[in-house]
Amino acid sequence: IYCGLAYVGAGMAQQLPDATNGAAVLTASATLHFGAVGTVVVAAIFLLACLNVCIGLISCCGTYFSEELPRVSYRVCALVFAAFSCIVSSFGLDAILAFSVPLLGALYPIAIVLVAMGMMHTLCDRVPLVWPWVVGVTAVVSVTGALRDAFAAGTWLPIDLLPFAGMGLGWIAPALAAALIGVLCSK
């Protein structure tokens, strides 16, 4: 699915230089190729996909918080999250992306190293200082980049010199170096 979306985005990029987000590109592509029917089909797909995700998230958040806060019922938690979601959605996709992309840029690298190290936990557990070094260094690099992207986009930082930084993967080399430091410090 993502390869198909990337293909559509790459194919339409020259025709839509002012598009601000992927939804605009997909809608324009559907309209161009299939007319009004294409627009309706894309709208239906967006509606079903987003509704599915929203129901799942509201259900999971309601369940989690009603278990963590026994005084608050599942129904109240679900209603609070649904109301919050409605308020946030009124800001529009561009505003939501402006907020969420830097946040996810800070969190994803940390999650990725935790998952990768968790998959190798028998190895990583033998050198316990690997965990804090890798997660800490990854967090510093990813949060620094995310803060820059959120508040001073385009500003140059020394982390821009890191390998793969141009692809948003500048945290990989420091994470590997931190793993080596963690191994050496654990011995």
Question: In the Cβ-directed half-sphere of 37, how many Cα atoms lie within 13 Å?
Answer: 2
Regions of the chain short of the pLDDT cut 70: none
Distance, CA of 133 to chain centre: 23
Ordered by start, the domain boundaries in the chain are 2-90, 94-186
Nearest to 109 by CA among 34, 168, 33, 36: 168
**Beta carbons of 137 and 145 less than 8 angstroms apart:** no
pLDDT at 19: 82
HEC sequence for 85-151:
HHHHHCCCHHHHHHHHHHHHHHHHHHHHHHHHHHHCHHHHCCCCCHHHHHHHHHHHHHHHHHHHHHH
Give the whole-angstrom CA distance, residue 69 versus residue 89: 26
pLDDT at 11: 84
Q: At what angle do helices 93-119 and 130-151 cross, to 10 degrees?
A: 170
**Beta carbons of 163 and 173 less than 8 angstroms apart:** yes
pLDDT at 9: 83
Dump pLDDT digits (tens) for 106-123.
999 999 999 999 999 999
The residue length of the chain stands at 187
Q: How far is CA 124 from CA 50, 111, 120, 132, in A?
A: 38, 16, 6, 11
pLDDT at 130: 95
pLDDT at 10: 84
160 Cβ contact partners less than 8 Å away, ≥ 6 residues apart: 166, 170
Dump pLDDT digits (tens) for 32-47.
889 999 999 989 998 9
pLDDT at 135: 97
